[in-house]
Chain A
Amino acid sequence: MNKIGRKIKKGWRAITRSKKATIGFFMILILILIVIFAPWIAPYEVDEMNTGPVFSKPAQQHLMGTDHYGRDVFSRIIMGTRVSMRIGVVVTLLAVLIGVPLGLLAGYRNDLSGSFIMRTVDVMLCFPWVMAALCVAALIGGGEKVIIISLVFAYVPTFVRLMQGVVLSVREQEFVGAALVTGEKQISIIGRYILPNCMAPLIVEATLVMSFVILDEAAISYLGVGVQPPTPSWGVMLNEGSQYMWNAPYLSIFPGIAIALTVLGINLFGDGLRDILDPRYMGGLREL
């Protein structure tokens, strides 16, 4: 217990070194709290119609107004946090789980299999996956699963490239050579020496990818082919709101702010982490 406590303390001290990371950390913390307690924060049921007059402007009773069905926009935005964060986390995790082993292999094995992986990645990077996601989602009826699968395809190459680059540089370090000489198995070298040294850039990249995924999901859902209504995705809300831009602009404004704040929190955290873990970017962190 003591050991864990010390680790948390150490991590906290590292985070507070960067103002960006600290602010981002608190923003993400608030987001997580919203995700957990969403049903208790939202004053109305998410699909409850006629909670008030249709298109009522933001006021005390409806903090962000009501939409064309008289649903409470604030409640829908709060519940929408769950959708965005769920897709963001699941896509990033899957992309990491697929991309990291491939990248490790490509970087560690400088032979045919390695170059095969990298050439495949080159081709995948040329392919407009977000557009493909759009097509597939539209043609088979959209929904969360399709979006998740297509976005995973879109972001796996990012992690493969990143890991390959990092492994190539770590592999040349003396401690890897030493482990090889002592006769350790390759798999244990990768697991014990190479992977831990790749963690820093990986965590940074994962947070940044997560913010991109949330933006992509919003865009695809905005186009009407992603998450399907009545699920309260922010993209869906923007899509519905854009039709009433003239008389109820707040319907388009609030979901956008929610997306921007979420992504900003994640970006601040990721960016701050990069400053902490890679002092080159900050230039001022000599004590590390």
Chain B
Amino acid sequence: MLKYIVRRLLLIIPIVLIVSILVFLVIKMIPGDPITIMFGKNANAEQIAYVKTLYGLDKPLTEQYFTWAGNLLRGDWGSSIQSGEPVFQMIMERMPRTIALCFCGILVALVISIPTGVACARRHNSMLDLSLTIMNLTFISIPGFWLGMIFMLIFSVKLRLLPTSGYVSAQESLTGWMQCMILPTITTAATFFASLSRLMRSSMLEVLQQDYISLARIKGNTNGRVYYIHALRNSLIPLVTNIGLTMGYLMGGVVVIEKVFAYPGLGLLLINSITQRDYPLIQGILLIFAIIIVVINLLTDLAYMLIDPKIRFGYKKT
């Protein structure tokens, strides 16, 4: 198992390397000179030359990449053009908030989707199954950020129960933090739980047809035990894969949700840096998002081993 983990960890290196090249190129491939875009057409030649040497933009592309990547490894992610603050520090300040939002969202989504998925599979083709299926499809079809706007309209504008936007840190006031987390969390969960619930239903249905489930029934296990102890574990595997695979998608959604609620995470920082054309910051945030996705994919693979003894023991032998 250790061998597998080490191999899986080593595989991250080339992936992160290529992703970093992609991030670098996406910004470089944008037509037009970033400096003229930054300063407008009025910049004089001296200013341009100064900024070019300052940011190393006058060097060949490969050299620029290696300098950039080398600095990244040393923890120097450049500094924001707008505020002058170090990019790495800005990112690290915001990242916990985005991760907290994603984590709470996924947690709420799982808490809703596992029981509903199991219930659908248990009463397959019943009214409950049908209505939950329709509900899931509807939620999949609703744009998450729009749902956020509607929630805001109902709970903040009309009922005045929760703050419309903004952020209070947990150290400042725990209840304040919870209040401003509720709507973004529910919105994130709402964009995610429906697909998980559907997946749970179909994978549970598949597992329930297997022989070992019949055996568990014959042995006299109660229904609850058969579903939640014997069947659930195996049907969780596709769910875990799906969480890993859709992480990129979820992150994209979180960016927009952060914008709706003015939640000061990485997403809002990205949008602001885009409007201010803050290239070092944009590069840094894109890279950190990619790294987060890579790490989550790794965690997904490791989570398999926890859930599925077949994989665990399979690797013990080799």
Contacts and interface: CB of A to CB of B under 8 A. Distances in A.
Interface stretch (A41-49, A104-112, A126-134, A167-175): A126-134
B231 interface: no
Nearest to A133: B252
A225 B253 CA distance: 15
B259 A223 contact: yes
Given A139-B277, A245-B157, A267 B141 contact: yes
A263 to B, nearest CB: 4
B290 A127 contact: yes
B255 A271 contact: no
B124 A225 contact: no
Contacts of B255: 130-131, 134, 223
A281 interface: yes
A178 B37 CA distance: 61
A242 B146 CA distance: 10
A281 B157 contact: no
Contact of B270 (A122, A134, A211, A267): A134
Contacts of B159: none
Contact of A126 (B15, B27, B149): B15
Q: Interface majority SS on A: helix, strand, loop or mixed?
A: helix
B245 A135 contact: no
Given A140-B32, A260-B143, A125 B248 contact: yes
Interface in B22-76: 22-23, 26-27, 29-32, 37
A135 B143 contact: no
A263 B141 CA distance: 5
B178 interface: no
Contacts of A246: 157
A218 to B, nearest CB: 5
A125 B23 CA distance: 14
Contact of B256 (A136, A139, A219): A219
B145 to A, nearest CB: 6
B293 A128 contact: yes
Contacts of A123: 15, 18-19, 22
A223 B32 CA distance: 23
A183 interface: no
A128 B143 contact: no
Given A225-B274, A246-B157, 17 more contacts: A123-B15, A126-B297, A127-B290, A131-B270, A132-B26, A134-B274, A139-B30, A245-B152, A245-B157, A255-B146, A256-B143, A260-B141, A263-B141, A264-B137, A264-B138, A264-B141, A283-B125
Interface of A: 20, 122-123, 125-132, 134-136, 138-140, 211-212, 215-216, 218-219, 222-223, 225, 238, 242, 245-246, 249, 252-253, 255-256, 259-261, 263-264, 267-268, 271, 280-281, 283-284
16 contacts: A20-B137, A123-B22, A126-B297, A127-B23, A135-B282, A140-B30, A222-B143, A246-B157, A252-B149, A253-B150, A253-B153, A259-B146, A260-B143, A261-B141, A280-B206, A283-B124
